[in-house]
Structure 1
Amino acid sequence: MRKTEPRLQRKLLAWLLGPLLVLLVLDAVAAYWTSQRFANLAYDRALHEIAREIVLHARPGTPHPRLELSEAAASILLMDAQDHLYYRVDAGDGTVLGGDASLPKASLPARGTEPLFYQETVHGQPVRMIAARMPVDEAAGAPLVQVQVAETLNKRTRLALEMMANVVLPQLLLIVAATVLVWFGVSRGLEPLQRLRNAVSNRSHLDLSPIDTHDVPGEVRPLVDEVNELMARLGRTFDFQNRFVADAAHQLKTPVSGLKAQIELALRENDPERVRHSLAQLYISADRLSRLVRQLLSLARNEPGALESVQLQPLDLNAFALEVSMDWVPHALKRQIDLGFDGIEQPLMIAADGDRLRELINNLIDNAIRYSHEGGRVTVGTSRTAEGLCKLAISDDGPSIPVAERKRIFERFHRLLGTQQDGSGLGLAIVSEIAILHGARITLEEDVDGIGNTFSVLFQPGAGTTPQDAIGSLERTS
């Protein structure tokens, strides 16, 4: 069975009207108790007067007083349209002088003539009873008799209920009116939420624009702001994905077409040497395609939207850069390039993602070797700047990049005109994205000897364990 989902309107009404109903019940109980008390006070006086009238018919006698109350006088005295009355009169020695002997005799204090009022049951009915000692004559020393009068509770109960109704009924009507007003007020108060729900439900799944916060209650605004922030993050993620798909489709189209052309050419060749040449070209094209795919995946992995997946750990930039540079020595020797390392003796501790930092250094060294002439020089260096930043620098002997192009070379698929080297134009874009993820700043300048270029990446030393900490620290020192 499906569980009923909680609704805000129902909860608000329960919390607003529930206490009112509890108070109404408590007030009704208190009103009934008070009404019963006042009804007893009113009718107890009449019961006391009846007891006094009965005692007026008592006469002194020997050995005990006698009661001279005829049946006609008793019926007139005890006549009541709503209740039954019973009486009993006892002498001081316990002799029943008159009345209903089945009435349970009350135990009064040995001295005193104050009347005692209490609840009792007579002939199976609840009654209100008075018991008192009274003198049979006003003369001094007159004997005392004990008189008891019992009365059923019909008119007392009716009076108590009428008094309670007069108190509770207006309150009940007030609570009913309050219920209607609260229901209306809650419904009107929740209308902005209903409009907000309709605004979201009527949206297209492609519409990630912010939700309009106009007329949104202050209690809900933080939630709407968080939803808007989530939609903004989703929008950026979708933009990254769409851009990646578009870039991948654009970049893969050319090499795939080349592979297809090489395959068609190989299929038409009968000369083994030409087939072998076509297969060699296929291998070169497949290698370029594989490198392009790796770069596209790396670019997607290092999008700014991947900030949450980056885990920065303490790392010695000096030792790490030397380790990565050693991996490129064989490749540099193939092109007769002098690959050197110029570090410092002290460790340069930064907070970095090792895999991504390796990718950054690899791309910079690859770019330097690729564009340096044969027999040239590439230097990887680490140092500490005057501001205390940890610096990684890669210098090459390649063509100097014009000042106007130095910012654009970090854009995706941007390549300098006139270069003969093949490439996708993604290497420096990947370097830029990884630097952003580490809160690092990357610069490009001419080499100190005036030949070639120097790429410098500045890291904040002793940065926090999250990319946000590293970015914030670098911004404060910039």
Structure 2
Amino acid sequence: MKPVEPRLQRKLLAWLLGPLAVLLVIDTAAAYWNSVRFSDLAYDRALHEIGREIVLHVKLDGGQPRLELSEAAGNILLLDPDDLLFYRVTGADGTVLGGDADMPPPREAPRATGTEALAPRFYRDDVGDAPVRMMVARMRAGTGTGPGTPLVQVQVAETLHKRTRFAWEMVANIVLPQLLLMVMATAVVWFGVSRGLQPLQRLRRAVSDRSHLDLSPIDTHDVPGEVRPLVNEVNDLMARLGQTFDFQNRFVADAAHQLKTPVSGLKAQIELAQRETDPERVRHSLAQLYISADRLSRLVRQLLSLARNEPGALASMQLRPLDLNAYALEVSMEWVPQAIKRRIDLGFEGADRPLMIDADPDRLRELINNLIDNAIRYSQSGGRVTVRVNVGGSNECRLAISDDGPGIPVPERARIFERFHRLLGTQEDGSGLGLAIVSEIATLHGARITLEEDTDGVGNTFSVFFPLRGAGPSPGLSAS
């Protein structure tokens, strides 16, 4: 069985109309109880009067009470078009003076003296199979009022038809207007809730009718204040999705553009190798294929790294306390074989104390690797590359990589960190992505990067300034 879909309108109506329905039921029960009570009060007086009229027909014969109620008088007193009336009169000693034989004996009354002993009692009972309202009272026989006049006990019972009818008429007069008011309130509440939820319906249509490519903000005009924070969060989410899609589209476009040339080169070299019959030339072609495949692999790694370090990648970062001095030395040592192979003097100048920063180790390694790779790649054979770590300011530490490569003109320094930008005249293979990756990793860490000439006037120095741990939130992280 399909579960019932939760709906706001249904819940609002239930919470608004449910208590009203409960109150109506409680009010109906209370009205019925009060109606029965008032009905009994009204008809009990008449029942008491009938008992007093019957007692007037009790005569004293030699000081003993005797009931003299003719059939005509009995018909007058006990005739009722709606209910049956029963009576019985007994003396003080329990002798039945007259009345209906089916009348049950009175329930035992609490002992009382004085005037309380003469007060009538009313209760519900049964005569035969008929429920009745019973009146029991002790009265002085006949018309006597003196204390010497003997007491008789009179019982008068009446069936409940007119009492019940009167009680229900009173309930109807009370409840029917309230029920009509309840119906009107239901209609008004239904209409009000439906009108109140119309902005949500328009909001639903505005979202469902838009294209999946449309990530523009949802118009918050006429949106209820309770829903506006949700709509604002959705707009913020769509803005982030739009930024992510832009990053993805740019990555796909960049990858397609950059991979097209090396893949075409690979295909050309494969076709050339297939036409060769000389084993030596085939081995040469395979060697060229390996070099081209290695370049392509490096390009793919850089493209993936670029995508991983796009702005907005803070959610995937795992920052932890890290000593930049020791970490930079560790990464630099891994490049010693490559430096020796290129006949490059790779040196390290560290700080005299630990410099703690908050960093993602993998991304920081990638930043250092790209800077050292760039320095070794563009330095001449026999040149010098130096990695330095020192205090850059009161709240900063500095990672600097100096090389002996060709100097970068000042007009080009602003563009050197752009994607796929390469200096004209360089002979080294490259994709122009290494420094772009460095720049984006630095931004993710709230660091800033600069480029200036080396201190000896030969080559370039790339410096990355990281905020020291405990120096306050970094700009890059707070911007997120």
TM-score class, shorter: over 0.9
The code of the aligned residue for 1:129 comes to M
Counterparts in 2 of 1:388 and 1:51: CA distance versus 1, 3 Å: same
CA contact (8 A) 1:128 1:153 kept: yes
Q: How does 1:128-207 map to 2 (within 5 A)?
A: 128-136=133-141, 137-140=143-146, 141-207=148-214
Separation in structure 2 between the aligned mates of residue 474 and residue 46 of structure 1, nearest angstrom: 89
Report if the CA contact (8 A) 2:28-2:175 is conserved. yes
Q: For 1:300, give the aligned amino acid.
A: A
- Inter-partner Cα distance in structure 1 for 2:34 and 2:304: 84
Instruction: Give the Cα separation in 2 of the matches to 1:60 and 1:400.
Output: 145
For 1:147, the aligned partner's letter is: V
Counterparts of 1:439 and 1:268, CA distance in 2: 54
CA gap of 1:389–1:445, structure 2 versus 1, over 3 A, is same
Which residue pairs with 2:127 in the alignment?
Answer: 122
* Other-structure match for 2:66: 66
CA distance in structure 2 between the aligned counterparts of 1:176 and 1:406, rounded to whole angstroms: 78
* 1:400 Cα offset (Å): 2.2
Separation of aligned partners in 1, 2:476 and 2:175 = 66
- Aligned residue number for residue 323 of structure 1: 330
Whether 1:228 and 2:239 are equivalent positions in the alignment is no
Deviation at 1:191, TM superposition (A): 1.0
Match of 1:299 in 2: 306
TM-fit CA distance, 1:89: 0.4
Query: Per-residue CA shift, 1:379-410, capped at 9, x if unaligned?
Result: 10111122221211111122222232222111
Deviation at 1:438, TM superposition (A): 1.7
Question: Residues 360-375 of structure 1 correspond to what in structure 2 (within 5 A)?
Answer: 360-375=367-382
Give the C-alpha shift of residue 448 in structure 1. 2.1
Deviation at 1:463, TM superposition (A): 5.3
Q: CA deviation at 1:368?
A: 0.9
Q: What corresponds to 1:52 in structure 2?
A: 52
Q: Relative to 1, partners in 2 of residues 1:333 and 1:51: Cα closer, same or farther, differing over 3 Å?
A: same
Q: Partner of 2:385: helix, strand, or coil?
A: strand
RMSD of aligned alpha carbons: 1.8
Verify the 8 A CA contact 1:192 1:217 in the aligned structure 2: yes
Q: CA deviation at 1:226?
A: 1.7
Q: Distance in 2 between matches of 1:266 and 1:397?
A: 38
1:260 is matched with which residue? Answer: 267
- Return the offset for 1:110: 5.2
What are structure 1's unaligned runs of at least 5 residues? none
Please report the TM-score for the alignment, with normalisation by the length of structure 2.
0.94
Indicate which of 393, 404, 411 corresponds to 1:404. 411
What residue is the counterpart of 1:270 in the other structure? 277
Alignment correspondent of 1:453: 460
Q: Could you tell me how far apart the structure 1 residues matched to 2:425 and 2:470 are? A: 41
Matched-pair contact (CA < 8 Å) for 1:60–1:142: no
How far 1:267 sits from its partner (Å)?
2.3
Question: Secondary structure of the equivalent of 2:136?
Answer: strand
Q: 1:115 to 1:361 in 2, by over 3 A?
A: same
Q: Secondary structure at the match of 1:373?
A: coil
Q: Give, in angstroms, the shift of residue 69 of structure 1.
A: 0.4
Q: Secondary structure at the match of 1:118?
A: strand
**What residue in structure 2 maps to residue 97 of structure 1?**
97
CA deviations over 1:273-298 (Å, ceiling 9, x no partner): 33333222222211111111111111
Pair 1:379 & 2:376 matched: no
Quote the offset at 1:72 in angstroms: 1.4
Q: Is the 8 A contact 2:443 2:476 kept in 1?
A: no
Matched residues in 1 for 2:279 and 2:95: separation? 147
Does structure 2 conserve the Cα–Cα contact (< 8 Å) formed by 1:120 and 1:127? yes
Letter of the structure 2 residue corresponding to residue 130 of structure 1 = M
Paired with 1:187 and 1:271, the residues of 2 have a C-alpha distance of 85
**Once the 2 structures are TM-superposed, how far is the Cα of residue 139 of structure 1 from its aligned partner?**
4.2
Deviations 1:417-437 (A, max 9, x none): 222222100001111121122
CA distance in 1, matches of 2:414, 2:340: 31
Q: Which deviates more from structure 2 when the two are superposed, residues 5-14 or residues 232-241?
A: 232-241
* Letter matched to residue 172 of structure 1: L
The letter of the residue matching 1:200 is V
For residue 60 of structure 1, give the secondary structure of its aligned residue in structure 2. strand
Q: Shift of residue 360 of structure 1? A: 0.6
Q: Is the 8 A contact 1:460 1:473 kept in 2?
A: no
The worse-fitting range, judged by mean Cα deviation, of 418-427 and 229-238 is: 229-238
Output one character per residue of 1:181-233: Cα deviation in whole Å (capped at 9) or x when no partner.
11111111111111111111112222222222111111111221222222222
Deviation at 1:57, TM superposition (A): 0.5
Is the CA contact (8 Å cut-off) linking 2:420 and 2:432 kept in structure 1? Answer: yes
